[in-house]
Structure 1
């Protein structure tokens, strides 16, 4: 079984204080308690600091996500 997160966002004014790491550690512990063997997540290409954060916590980049907008959204 694999777990996936929906969002993990720490407001900029609270970053750098370990809150994101504590949240991620709790997510990983919860997933393990539920019997998950893996956590998968995605992150926007331009979010380099998020990529470093996940790599520092043992995550590996294993895939690319491709998308294409087919038409403009109606406003």
Structure 2
């Protein structure tokens, strides 16, 4: 069965190099991620901020002892919806050579189960408008496009 030997777990600091390599393999997002060792301190500082937050969790999918995918969650509470909390799923990436094995779906389902267990009212995510395959993937998992997103880049 595809993806059956996948373990989803919280990321460890020693996973950061593998996570950065997965992010650097993205040819669509244009985030400037790199495997250049000079960038490692920035990735480690970001990991430390994420891991010290009570509202954020960075996950990895591991297969055969190797990190093959990653995603991050953020819990946000708003006054709208009577003070309800939602889980935002971000930075969902699977190593290109591991796609099509059900790893991403397993990660998203893991996040959904975590959100249900925490009593969240919704799980939401955004996806780059150019990622048509990703949009179909999320729709297959039950997500519906409901909002139009905007971004103001500051750096």
Structure 1 stretches of 5 or more lacking a match? none
TM-score (norm 1): 0.85
Distance 2:110 2:143 in 1: 15
The match for 1:17 is 101
Distance 2:117 2:146 in 1: 24
Count residues with an aligned counterpart: 71
The match for 2:90 is 6
| Divergent runs of 4+, >3 A | 67-70
- Cα pair distance change 1:36/1:69, threshold 3 Å: closer
Q: Structure 1 or 2: larger strand share?
A: 2
Distance 1:5 1:69 in 2: 20
The match for 1:40 is 124
Distance 1:26 1:16 in 2: 17
RMSD (Å), alpha carbons: 1.6
TM-score (norm 2): 0.43
